[in-house]
Structure 1
Amino acid sequence: MVGTSADKVGRLPSDTSLVMPIRVHFVLDLADGYRSVLENASKGARRDFRQKYRQYDWEFGVEGDPIWFDHFYERIYRATMFQRYGERARTESRDSAYECLFRSGVLFYLAMNGERIAGHLCHWDPQSGVLTSRLLGVLDGAEEYYAAGTLKVMYFLLMKWAAENGVRRLDFQGTEAFLSKGTYQMKRRFGTRVILPPNHFGRKRLWLQVRRDTPEVRDFLVANPVLQVTKEGKLEAVYFYDDERPARVDYRAVGAGVEAVRHFSLDEFLAGRRADGKAYGRVQPS
């Protein structure tokens, strides 16, 4: 797998290869209001939100006090990152979060039964009307708040607030272009549209070439359906399968922004590869 640019990726070999975006974003256009947002979200997501919303007394609002920003940064955001990723956690610096996000953005809090147990710091661009999700978490990264449905409730209340406060588009940011990512499946359920990132990452590509035909390679490709970028810059879902490994269609891709869904036989795709890595033939999804 090689990272490159959209301009250069066409120069790389196309046999047994895929061209993927480095990342994708999930956006909601809010011109039609919150009712439309609810209608476009999946039935399961709406059901989960309503069930969790009835179980507790929730309060969602905006906080502009720098003192609470410090609490959010240390006890909510950083605590959540380290609880989830441990030593592998990569966090935004406190100064960057304060100067680049808090001072010109929006910091939301979520209270459950009177106690603030979650927060969400967003970047705000008044010229474009885009509110972008950046940093979030739950108090001390505690699992009990995830179990209570905190993040699901917070996302829906954020969508409601945005629709009622002049936000043109809500950008949930995104994830890598593997449909098996939990983040992909969660954000898809909100009725979002999948786009290439609206920044320099939008012109970045991943070139994935398969050089060996082994059971392990086949297992990986089937278990991880992907989004590929066509020559026209459109996004398509690619599911691999063979006689022993059915396509993982439980990882849903259908939705706005995904122009096509393709099922591709590994026997055809890997016809140009052998277990020892030697190549013959040129076959790729098209």
Structure 2
Amino acid sequence: MPTTTLVPPNWRYAWNNSAAPLVVRAHALTAAAARPSVTVSRPTGGPDGGSPTLAYGGLAHGLTHVLPFLEQRRGAGAQHSRRRTTWAELADGRAATGADLLAVGLLRRAAPRTAPRHCLLLPFRISLSVPVGPDPQEVVQRLSRKARQQHARELRSRDRTLEVATSEADFHSFYDGMHRPTMRNRHRDAARSEERRSALVCLFRRGVLFFLRESGRRVAGMLCRLEGATLVVRLAGVEAGGEEPYRSGTYMAMYVLILQWAAEHGLTRVDLSGCEPFLSKGIFQFKRKMHPEVTLPDNHFRDKRLMLRVLRDTPEVRDLLTANPVLAYDTTGGALEAVYFHDADRPARTDLRWQCPGVSGQRAVDLDEFLDGLPRSTPRTPAAQPARP
């Protein structure tokens, strides 16, 4: 019988995460050589189900990073259909004529410098990181006032301490008892994670496993990788994947204590990992409380872009755009700015804040002007209230 050669976990991790120029270039060559496809996501219940029809095409990573998020924000089940297409059809929207909104993942060199009409040009992903100095107390000062007060109050009342764990038994306890249940409970089918062997070899053995203890009990954990003077947060979880730690500030306390640990051990930066460029991402709003710097990722995602193209002007599309402001390139194509949509019936969701280093400012876009000239459907009355993150 022929044998199957498995890709070593360190090679697989490097392919997915490395910023080495050879790896980044190999990703670009692979993407350029692949024939693109387009996936159309129709809401369950048919075309009159009260939700927009979405489509994603282009770079394959968008099927795990972009489309599931848009479907989650749409708030309806999905029926998928997929077909091969061409980059030319994706570029002008012909690839998904039955959809209301088309997202296209493409290489930076193939993206226009500024977005065409009815389009926004976004980074494919963003990275969030916090610089740390030698004074651990400076970390706390980065927090919002409310988060700072809650951290100080609960650090004492809950007797919170940080533990550095070193045994493989600790790793498996974290992976099975915290990380996997948390991913399953919070993200369901959209959960993404590092495979166990890769996490053991590439993270645990090359990084630090932290546990947060409350009155001596382990209630949360984070597995981080050390890369030079940077600590990279990679996997996280709470005891049994429960919800109470999110309400009590446990996660924030753990981040703060890890930032302070990094300062005490001479590190200069903590990479909080990244997310899709939508202000309605819960992870963005949570990590924004630590005032992180917003940059492009160092790995292959740096050279990827996301084009959002509206194909039809419908009340449901307007609801979705208004409820999900984005981080997009400005009209010069050089800086990131927060873009908020609005119209007479839908106020801009400025409660979803953007203020972080690396974001130049904000821009309000009138939907009547942005969507002018598109095919329209009969307005729905009343307009749906924007979904909360």
TM-score (normalizing by structure 2): 0.67
Which 5+ residue runs of structure 2 have no aligned equivalent?
A: 1-102, 378-389
- Name the structure 1 match of 2:362: 261
Q: How far apart are residue 186 of structure 1 and its match?
A: 0.7
User: What letter is aligned with 2:164?
Assistant: V
- Once residues 208 and 199 of structure 2 are traced to their aligned partners in structure 1, the CA distance between those partners, rounded to angstroms, is 11
- Name the structure 1 match of 2:21: none
Q: How far apart are residue 20 of structure 1 and its match?
A: 0.8
Superposed counterparts of 1:117-136, under 5 Å: 117-126=219-228, 129-136=229-236
**Identity %, equivalent residues:** 44
SS in 1 for 2:226: strand
Superposed counterparts of 1:11-26, under 5 Å: 14-26=116-128
The match for 2:299 among 172, 175, 199 is 199
Q: Does the aligned pair in 2 maintain the 1:15–1:272 contact within 8 Å?
A: no
- Once residues 140 and 266 of structure 1 are traced to their aligned partners in structure 2, the CA distance between those partners, rounded to angstroms, is 43
Q: Does the aligned pair in 2 maintain the 1:178–1:224 contact within 8 Å?
A: yes
User: What letter is aligned with 1:165?
Assistant: H
- Name the structure 2 match of 1:250: 351
User: What letter is aligned with 2:251?
Assistant: L
- Name the structure 2 match of 1:100: 202
RMSD over aligned Cα atoms: 1.8
Is residue 161 of structure 2 the alignment partner of residue 52 of structure 1? no
- Name the structure 2 match of 1:281: none
User: What letter is aligned with 1:30?
Assistant: V
- Once residues 17 and 145 of structure 1 are traced to their aligned partners in structure 2, the CA distance between those partners, rounded to angstroms, is 39
Stretch deviating more after TM superposition (5-14 or 206-215):
5-14
Superposed counterparts of 1:228-239, under 5 Å: 228-230=328-330, 231-239=332-340
Q: How far apart are residue 32 of structure 1 and its match?
A: 5.9
The match for 1:114 among 202, 216, 219 is 216
Q: Does the aligned pair in 1 maintain the 2:113–2:333 contact within 8 Å?
A: no
- Name the structure 2 match of 1:282: none
Which 5+ residue runs of structure 1 have no aligned equivalent?
A: 277-286
- Once residues 108 and 71 of structure 1 are traced to their aligned partners in structure 2, the CA distance between those partners, rounded to angstroms, is 12
- Once residues 208 and 109 of structure 1 are traced to their aligned partners in structure 2, the CA distance between those partners, rounded to angstroms, is 40
Runs of 4+ in 1 over 6 A off after TM superposition: none
SS in 1 for 2:206: coil
Change (3 A) 1:196 1:11: closer
Superposed counterparts of 1:1-286, under 5 Å: 1-10=103-112, 14-31=116-133, 33-126=135-228, 129-230=229-330, 231-275=332-376
Q: How far apart are residue 111 of structure 1 and its match?
A: 1.0
SS in 2 for 1:173: strand
Deviations 1:196-236 (A, max 9, x none): 11211111111111111111111111111100024544211
Bigger relative CO (Cα 8 Å, ≥ 6 apart): 1
In the alignment of these two chains, the number of paired residues is: 274
Q: How far apart are residue 241 of structure 1 and its match?
A: 0.9
SS in 1 for 2:161: strand
Q: How far apart are residue 265 of structure 1 and its match?
A: 1.0
Q: Does the aligned pair in 2 maintain the 1:37–1:191 contact within 8 Å?
A: no
- Once residues 194 and 13 of structure 1 are traced to their aligned partners in structure 2, the CA distance between those partners, rounded to angstroms, is 21
Q: How far apart are residue 115 of structure 1 and its match?
A: 1.2
TM-score (normalizing by structure 1): 0.90
SS in 2 for 1:7: helix
- Once residues 124 and 299 of structure 2 are traced to their aligned partners in structure 1, the CA distance between those partners, rounded to angstroms, is 12
Change (3 A) 1:67 1:54: same
